[in-house]
Amino acid sequence: MNIEQLIIDIEQLPPEAQRQIESFIAFIKTRYPLATKTKLSEEEFVGMWSNPPQIQDSTQWVQNTQESEWSKGDE
Protein backbone atom coordinates (compact mmCIF):
# COMPACT_ATOMS: atom_id res chain seq x y z
CA MET A 1 0.00 0.00 0.00
CA ASN A 2 1.41 3.38 -0.94
CA ILE A 3 1.12 6.59 1.07
CA GLU A 4 -1.37 8.22 -1.28
CA GLN A 5 -3.77 5.28 -1.06
CA LEU A 6 -3.38 5.14 2.70
CA ILE A 7 -4.33 8.82 2.99
CA ILE A 8 -7.37 8.30 0.75
CA ASP A 9 -8.47 5.32 2.84
CA ILE A 10 -8.11 7.26 6.10
CA GLU A 11 -10.01 10.24 4.71
CA GLN A 12 -12.92 7.95 3.80
CA LEU A 13 -13.29 6.72 7.37
CA PRO A 14 -15.68 8.34 9.85
CA PRO A 15 -14.17 10.93 12.24
CA GLU A 16 -14.10 8.53 15.20
CA ALA A 17 -12.11 5.97 13.20
CA GLN A 18 -9.71 8.73 12.09
CA ARG A 19 -9.16 9.68 15.76
CA GLN A 20 -8.44 6.02 16.56
CA ILE A 21 -5.85 5.91 13.79
CA GLU A 22 -4.30 9.12 15.12
CA SER A 23 -4.10 7.60 18.62
CA PHE A 24 -2.63 4.39 17.26
CA ILE A 25 0.06 6.30 15.35
CA ALA A 26 0.96 8.21 18.54
CA PHE A 27 1.24 4.88 20.37
CA ILE A 28 3.41 3.33 17.65
CA LYS A 29 5.72 6.36 17.71
CA THR A 30 6.38 5.72 21.42
CA ARG A 31 7.39 2.15 20.60
CA TYR A 32 9.87 3.23 17.94
CA PRO A 33 11.39 6.47 19.26
CA LEU A 34 14.50 6.30 17.08
CA ALA A 35 12.38 6.48 13.96
CA THR A 36 10.97 9.85 15.03
CA LYS A 37 14.11 11.53 16.41
CA THR A 38 15.59 14.48 14.60
CA LYS A 39 19.26 14.76 13.79
CA LEU A 40 21.36 16.29 16.53
CA SER A 41 22.37 19.07 14.16
CA GLU A 42 18.69 20.02 13.80
CA GLU A 43 18.05 20.33 17.55
CA GLU A 44 17.21 23.83 18.76
CA PHE A 45 20.02 24.03 21.30
CA VAL A 46 22.81 23.39 18.78
CA GLY A 47 24.82 26.54 18.28
CA MET A 48 23.36 28.47 21.19
CA TRP A 49 26.87 29.10 22.52
CA SER A 50 28.50 29.67 19.14
CA ASN A 51 29.19 33.36 19.64
CA PRO A 52 27.80 34.73 22.91
CA PRO A 53 28.53 38.45 23.28
CA GLN A 54 29.38 38.23 26.99
CA ILE A 55 32.50 36.17 26.30
CA GLN A 56 34.05 37.85 23.27
CA ASP A 57 37.23 38.05 25.33
CA SER A 58 37.14 34.68 27.07
CA THR A 59 40.15 35.40 29.29
CA GLN A 60 38.57 38.58 30.62
CA TRP A 61 35.24 36.80 31.08
CA VAL A 62 36.90 34.07 33.19
CA GLN A 63 38.72 36.66 35.30
CA ASN A 64 35.54 38.66 35.87
CA THR A 65 33.56 35.53 36.74
CA GLN A 66 36.21 34.34 39.18
CA GLU A 67 36.43 37.73 40.87
CA SER A 68 32.67 37.93 41.13
CA GLU A 69 32.25 34.42 42.55
CA TRP A 70 35.25 34.57 44.88
CA SER A 71 34.20 37.93 46.31
CA LYS A 72 30.84 36.46 47.39
CA GLY A 73 32.63 34.57 50.16
CA ASP A 74 33.97 37.84 51.60
CA GLU A 75 30.49 39.25 52.27
Q: What is the pLDDT of residues 12-46, one digit of tens each?
A: 999 999 999 999 999 998 888 765 567 777 777 77
Q: Is the model's pLDDT at 74 over the cut of 70?
A: no
Q: Is the model's pLDDT at 61 over the cut of 60?
A: yes
Beta strands in the chain (DSSP E): none
pTM: 0.43
Res 71: pLDDT: 82
Q: Measuring CA to CA, how many Å separate 10 from each of 19, 25, 32, 51? A: 10, 12, 22, 47
